[in-house]
Amino acid sequence: MRTGELMDLAWRLTARAEGRRAVLGLAGSPGAGKSTLAEALVEGLRERYGADAAAYVPLDGFHLSNAQLDRLGLAARKGSPPTFDVHGYAALLRRLVLEPDHDVYVPDFDRTLDEPVAARHVVRPGVRLVVTEGNYLACDLPGWPDARESIDELWYVEADREERRRRLVERRLAGGRTAGEAREWVRSNDMPNAEIVEASRASECVKLSFHWSGRE
């Protein structure tokens, strides 16, 4: 699907929300293009409807820190479901729906630092649509259904397996890994995580599943 079509579908959620703030969720495997699409939707909707039309809220801001991963023995599984603070993420989504009258600060993940960073984004009081994205939003593992309670509609973003693998290797290279380290991390961690996500693709909570071309 093209970005313009997706913008039209996303904005319709604001009418259905009947005056309250709407939340659109994007699920999909690592490397599928979720964050790029979310940012494109928010930018496009702001251009059409004004600066407060939409805001971006990434699940990646709820990665556990490296110190916590070491404490839990999960450093080698970074990016898997238990390495996220899903309850914190669900609580933030509830705040965004229930507390529309003040700024809500949103964390992000810094790939250079390889750590979450607090308050990189802000959702202003006038924002009508929140676009949030993350690998596991369609999963029924503990905590994720709680997060979905605040999401009005959930879409699944697809991409070819080898294309995702290529993007993920490039991501790891950009993060400072050697070529061998990047390929091994993708093989042993990112692709197994993708299998968990792919199992959720057919969930009844997914309202739209598509390949995003990245073009208008």
pLDDT, tens digit, 9 for 90 and up, residues 118-176: 999 999 999 999 999 999 999 999 999 999 999 999 999 999 999 999 999 999 999 89
Rg (CA), the chain: 17
Q: In the structure encoding, which two tokens stand for residue 191, read together?
A: 């692709």
Residue 213 reports pLDDT greater than 90: no
pLDDT at 216: 55
Average pLDDT, stretch 4-15? 96
Please tell me the pTM assigned to this model: 0.96
DSSP H helices, the chain, are 3-16, 34-49, 66-72, 86-98, 144-148, 161-174, 179-185, 191-198
Q: Residue 125: which residues within 8 A CB-CB, separation 6 or more?
A: 100, 101, 102, 103
Residue 96 reports pLDDT greater than 60: yes
Q: What is the CATH number of domain 3-211?
A: 3.40.50.300
Residue 70 reports pLDDT greater than 80: yes
Dihedral of CA 209/111/99/89: which sign? Answer: positive
